[in-house]
Structure 1
Amino acid sequence: MENFLDVDLTLEVLGYVQPMIVAGAVLGLVAGLLGPLVVTRKMAFAVHGTSELAFTGGAAALLIGIGVGYGALAGSVVAALLLGLLSTRNSDRDSVIGAILAFGLGLGVLFLALYEGRSANKFGLLTGQVVSIGSTDLWLLIGSSVAVLAVLAFIYRPLHFASVDAAVAVARGVPVRTLSVVFAVLVGVATALSVQLVGALLVLSLMITPAAAASRVTASPLKATLLAVVFAEVSVLGGMVLSLAPGMPVSAFVTAVSFLIYLVCRLASGKRERVQ
């Protein structure tokens, strides 16, 4: 009888952990591939602003009773489009992001105040709730990620060119404006997916920190991208494993691992510069 109970318990644990691992691996891949471009284009603040609108969309979804993932995705895409269309000049970018961020955050707080459901759902929007990812959310995440990666593969070369030197890219006929809007939407989708894992407040730990760490140890775009993917995967999967024993929020461990990797890379970079 005890053996049967042990088997049932093991199957239950596997059923609980497997969606977490799959979701984390997919998000790590997407964040790792997009991150170096985000860092190159100096869009860290834009990612933060987009995550706030993903939070607003998720809060609206809670209020009207639909899937949080769909709401977060809709909110982040709207934010990305607004940022891409309104930030016509680099000098305008920060002010536009700040205005949209503040409006979105206030609206999200209002939606949560009106929501009368479980408080854990409200908290999960800010800190992530990967443990509650079901089959529907998982397929949404995988489908959205495949779409992001397919579009990124199609536009990567002109996008990277425009990211490194926009003025020369314009002179060569590259549609820099269109690429900026498309990339903003890709970042918005990836941000919405990341919100499910680490929450709106900590999304930078996936979208920025691994890429920032990679940029400290290599100047090669290819190597930086590969390292960013590795760092993102280690942060996500390592954070998940570490969170299982104490039963604490996954986001705390993901961000801790990610920041530790960044510190190690920064120290290694500083040591190398002193030797040279």
Structure 2
Amino acid sequence: MGADAWDALFGGLPDYGAILALVSNSLIAGAVLGLVGGLIGVFVMQRDMAFAVHGISELSFAGAAAALLLGFDVITGSIIGSVLAAAIIGWLGARARDRNSIIGVLMPFGLGLGILFLSLYDGRSANRFSLLTGQIVSVQSGQLGWLIAIGGGVLVALLLIWRPLRFDSLDPQSAAARGVPTTAVSLGFMLLLGLVVAVAVHIIGALLVMALLVTPAAAAMRVATGPVSVPVLAAVFGFVSAVGGILLAVAGTLPVSPYITTISFLIYLVCRGVGARRGRVVRVRD
């Protein structure tokens, strides 16, 4: 690795402590996002909705870009876009085929709107760039409370509907036959997912939200199968990816997203290797 590349990745080590104090808000928000994103990601995987995460993020990006253009709070705009997209997908996309077609329509529409709003914005270019790829100092003191409140609220709501949501995610036909209000559960889950995506867009950017809402859960499912072990591992992997990425980004000059996505991807590769090795061992024993 050349000297310039090394400086870009880890060029700020001498002032690490001072810089770290400036991004304490991002560390806290990243920790909350990693934990909640890992947990909700388990249901995203079980319900085969990874594509939906990306679709919601595009309208969240459009909402944040509109707020930036109009001078409103970016988090509020992101939440409005995310919740609107989640409601549309949850209401109209009950079946997988319908859901994928709706997402395929919403994604380019949201991305196009977001690009339009950013092209009309004549403020700092860093603000525009951060909506796509994240920004290490994007979380201000006034916004931290909102991000923690959203993450905590989603976590509490997720725990309250955990059992019916898990039942509906694994066997929707049996859940409906047993009297589980599957439509309400599905729509509620989509709204919670929309809120988490709105937080993720503010931390890691609209283009890379799946690194914290899909990859940790996918990694956990490679090495665990239990109803407790999978969510716990997914939350741990999400926490390590988010906090570890921010800690590394503090020492460099690159956006936070490449560090978070790299850590998340490496965890997935390790878990995939461990899972494949276990599978070979079981086959040999059989």
TM bracket, shorter-chain basis? over 0.9
The 3-state SS of whatever aligns with 1:82 is helix
User: Displacement, 1:15?
Assistant: 3.6
Question: Retained in 2: the 8 A contact 1:35–1:211?
Answer: yes
Task: Choose the corresponding residue for 2:78, options 68, 72, 86.
Answer: 72
Q: How does 1:12-23 map to 2 (within 5 A)?
A: 13-23=19-29
The 3-state SS of whatever aligns with 2:161 is helix
User: Displacement, 1:135?
Assistant: 1.2
Question: Retained in 1: the 8 A contact 2:19–2:250?
Answer: no
Alpha-carbon distance in structure 2 between the residues aligned to 1:230 and 1:11: 25
Name the stretch that deviates more: 131-140 or 38-47.
131-140
User: Displacement, 1:101?
Assistant: 1.1
**How many percent of aligned residue pairs carry the same amino acid?**
52
What's the counterpart of residue 10 of structure 2? none
Compute the TM-score of the two structures, normalised by the length of structure 1. 0.94
Task: Choose the corresponding residue for 1:193, options 190, 193, 199.
Answer: 199
Name the stretch that deviates more: 42-51 or 237-246.
237-246
What's the counterpart of residue 232 of structure 1? 238
| Unpaired segments ≥5 residues, structure 2 | 1-14
The 3-state SS of whatever aligns with 1:142 is helix
Letter paired with 2:99: R
What's the counterpart of residue 253 of structure 2? 247
Alpha-carbon distance in structure 1 between the residues aligned to 2:20 and 2:225: 40
- Which string of whole-angstrom CA distances, capped at 9 and with x for unpartnered residues, describes residues 209-243 of structure 1? 00000000111121000000110111111111111
Alpha-carbon distance in structure 1 between the residues aligned to 2:77 and 2:34: 21
- Which string of whole-angstrom CA distances, capped at 9 and with x for unpartnered residues, describes residues 176-225 of structure 1? 01111110010000001011111000000000000000000111121000
Task: Choose the corresponding residue for 1:203, options 203, 209, 212.
Answer: 209
The 3-state SS of whatever aligns with 2:169 is helix
Q: How does 1:115-194 map to 2 (within 5 A)?
A: 115-194=121-200
User: What is the root-mean-square deviation of aligned Cα atoms in Å?
Assistant: 1.3
The 3-state SS of whatever aligns with 1:221 is coil
Task: Choose the corresponding residue for 2:88, options 82, 86, 94.
Answer: 82
Q: How many residues align?
A: 268
User: Displacement, 1:86?
Assistant: 1.1
Alpha-carbon distance in structure 2 between the residues aligned to 1:271 and 1:226: 22
| Unpaired segments ≥5 residues, structure 1 | 1-8
Q: How does 1:109-120 map to 2 (within 5 A)?
A: 109-120=115-126
Alpha-carbon distance in structure 2 between the residues aligned to 1:219 and 1:146: 26
- Which string of whole-angstrom CA distances, capped at 9 and with x for unpartnered residues, describes residues 146-170 of structure 1? 1111211111110100000000000
Task: Sort the Cα spacing of 1:204 and 1:11 in 2 relative to 1 into closer, same or farther, 3 A.
Answer: closer
Question: Retained in 1: the 8 A contact 2:30–2:242?
Answer: yes
Question: Retained in 2: the 8 A contact 1:130–1:196?
Answer: no
User: Displacement, 1:17?
Assistant: 2.6
Letter paired with 2:54: H
Task: Choose the corresponding residue for 1:272, options 265, 274, 278.
Answer: 278
Deviation >4 Å, runs of 4+: 9-12
Alpha-carbon distance in structure 2 between the residues aligned to 1:253 and 1:198: 10
User: Displacement, 1:13?
Assistant: 3.4
Alpha-carbon distance in structure 1 between the residues aligned to 2:135 and 2:62: 16
